Structure 1
Amino acid sequence: MPRAPAAAHAVALSSSDLAALIDISTVQAFHTEHDVRALATVASANDFIAAHVLPNFVPLLRSLLPREGRTLAAGPVGFPSGGHVTAIKVAEARQLVADGAQELDMMINVGRLKSADYAYVGDDIRAVVEAIAPLPLKVILEIGHLSDDEIKRGCEIVAGSGAAFVKTGTGWTPHATTIEKIRLITGFVGGAVEVKASGGIRTLDTVATMVGLGVTRFGINAQVAADLVRQCAALPGGTLRIEPQAA
C-alpha cells in the first residue's frame, strides 16, 4: 500500500524502527563469499529489513539468514546497467525468486529512458513485476545520469507500472543522493509508490530529513548502517526525531 508522501507530524524512530528501514548490500563486482557471509552476520545482528547480494550469491545468502528472522534475502535484476533485454530481466528475476530472493531491485533501462522511449521502459518494468508477483519490485533510476525532467518521467513510469518502490541509484556511480533530489522525487510520486534512497547517505540528520520527506527505505553501506543504528540508540530516549518536511 503506498504511503503518504511525507510525514504529517513529528514522530520518533527507535533504533529497531530505523533498522527496519535499511537495506544493506555487497553488490560490487569484487565482493566475495566471505563478504556475503559477513553481510548476513551484520544483517541478522541488527535486524536490517533486507540484505542484497549479486544473483549468484542469493542461494548462499538465503541459507545464512535465519528463517524466523526479520531480514529478507534480496538481489538485483539487470544490474548495474539496466541494458539487458526484457526477456533476460524476466528470466533473471524468476531465477532469483526460485533461489530464495524475497525482494528484488531492478535497474531501469537508462538509455531507453533518456531516448524518450517511455513505452519500452514501462513494458520492461511491468514484465518483471508480473514475473515475480506478489513479491515487491524496487526500480532503480540511477538519478546521477538523469536530468530532473528525466527523473520525473522515470518516477511517473514506475508509479504506473505496478512496482512497489522507486529507488534513486545503484551505488555504482560517484553521485550521492541529495535531499534536494529526494524532495523532487517524493513530490513527483506523491505517495503512488514508496521511495528508497540509496547512495552516499551517511548521517542521522540526512536520514531524518529524508524520512520527513517521505522516504520509507534506505540503501546504506553495512558498516555505516550499523553505526547509524548505534548512534540512534545512544540519542536521548533512544529515538531519532522525525519532523515533517515541506515538499
Structure 2
Amino acid sequence: MLGKELLTYVDHTLLNPIATWEEIKVVCEDALAYHTASVCIPPDFVASAHNAYPDLTVCTVVGFPLGYQTTEAKVAETKQAIEEGASEIDMVINLGDVKQGDYHAITEEIKALKAICGEKILKVIIEACSLTKDEKVELCRCVTEGGADFIKTSTGFGSGGATLEDVQLIKKHIGPHVQIKAAGGIRSVEAMKAYIEAGCTRIGASAAVGLLQNRLDEQV
C-alpha cells in the first residue's frame, strides 16, 4: 500500500480541548491536501470549517468524551452539527447504561441519532478500555441493531486506546453492514496497517499526516 492510499483510511483528528481556530485550519488544509477520509474536529468548529472548506468532509463528536449526557442532549448536538455542515458523527455511548445492563437504552439512543443522520455516517464509540469482553459483545449487537454505520473502539481520552484484540473480537460480532474504526494511541505506520489488515476501514489519528506526508508514493 502506498502512503497516499493509507491516508484515505484516516480521520485526521484534532480534539484537543484547547485547540484554536488557527490549529483547526491547519488540520483541515492537511486533510484536503492529503485526501484523508475526513477531518474530525470539536463541534464548536464545524460551521467555521464547513464554511471555509466546503469540499471537506467534516466529522465531529457528540456526547464526547464521557457519553453520559441525556439522549435528548445528544440529539440536539447531532442536529446542530449536521445543520452546520458535519457529514459524519462520532457519538459516545452511555457507559453507565452498559454497567447496569440497559442495552435497550443504548440501542434506542443509537437509533435516535441515526434517524437524524439519515444518509450521513454515524460512528458509535464504545470506549472499549472500560468494558468486559461480554459487554463488548453486547455492544456489537446494539450498534448493529441501532443501524449505525461504524463501531469505534475509543475516544482517545480514556485509560486506553485501540487494541488489535478488541478489533478482532468486534469483527466477529458486528453485523455485515457495520464497519470498524480504530482510534486512540495509533501513532505509527505499522500500527495503522495492522488495524486495516485486522478489518478496520477507518483509523482515527492525529499523527498520520505527519508520518506519511513525505512518503505518499512509497510502499509503506
Normalised to the residue count of structure 1, the TM-score between the two structures is: 0.84
**Contact 1:204-1:232 within 8 A present in 2 as well:** no
Structure 1 partner of 2:178: 193
Structure with the larger RCO, 1 or 2 (CA within 8 Å, 6+ apart): 1
The offset of 1:145, in angstroms, is 0.9
- Distance, in Å, in 1 between the alignment partners of 2:102 and 2:8 is 36
Q: CA deviation at 1:14?
A: 2.3
Q: Is the 8 A contact 2:12 2:209 kept in 1?
A: no
Pick from 92, 106, 131: which aligns with 1:146? Answer: 131
| Residue 96 of structure 2 is aligned to residue 111 of structure 1 | yes
What's 1:227 paired with?
210
2:142 alignment counterpart: 157
Query: In the TM superposition, what is the alpha-carbon distance from 1:81 to its structure 2 partner?
Result: 1.2
Equivalent pair of 2:153/2:161 in contact (CA under 8 Å): no
> Counterparts of 1:82 and 1:106 in 2: how far apart (Å)?
8
2:203 maps to what in 1?
218
Residue type of the partner of 2:135? E
Q: How big is each residue's C-alpha offset from its partner over 1:61-102, in whole Å with a ceiling of 9 and x where there is no partner?
A: 1123252xxx41111111111111111111111111100001
Q: Distance in 1 between matches of 2:215 and 2:150?
A: 25
2:15 matched residue in structure 1: 27
Instruction: Tell me which amino acid in the other structure corresponds to 1:59.
Output: A
| Alignment-mate amino acid for residue 49 of structure 2 | L
* Identity value in percent: 31
Structure 1: distance between partners of 2:146 and 2:67: 16
- How many pairs does the alignment contain? 220
Matches within 5 A, 1:170-209: 170-189=155-174, 191-209=176-194
- Alignment correspondent of 1:5: none
Structure 1 gap segments, 5+ residues each: 1-12, 241-247
CA contact (8 A) 2:189 2:208 kept: no
| Distance across 1 between alignment mates of 2:205 and 2:164 | 15
Match of 1:169 in 2: 154
Q: How far 1:190 sits from its partner (Å)?
A: 5.6
**Residues 181-201 of structure 1: CA distance to partner in whole angstroms, max 9, x if unpaired?**
211111222644100000111
Q: 3-state SS of the aligned residue for 1:233?
A: coil
Q: Determine which of 51, 64, 73 is the counterpart of 1:88.
A: 73
Q: Counterparts of 1:24-103 in structure 2 under 5 Å? A: 24-67=12-55, 71-103=56-88
Q: Find the aligned partners of 1:231 and 1:143 in 2 and give their Cα distance.
A: 33
* 1:239 and 2:219 matched: yes
Structure 1 position 178, deviation (Å):
1.5
Decide whether aligned partners of structure 1 residues 37 and 200 sit closer, same or farther in structure 2, where only a CA change above 3 A counts.
Answer: same
Alpha-carbon separation, structure 2, partners of 1:177 and 1:140: 11
SS at match of 2:146: coil
Instruction: Judge which range, 210-219 or 169-178, deviates more.
Output: 169-178
Distance 2:215 2:198 in 1: 19
Query: Per-residue CA shift, 1:160-214, capped at 9, x if unaligned?
Result: 1110000001111231312122111112226441000001112222222221121
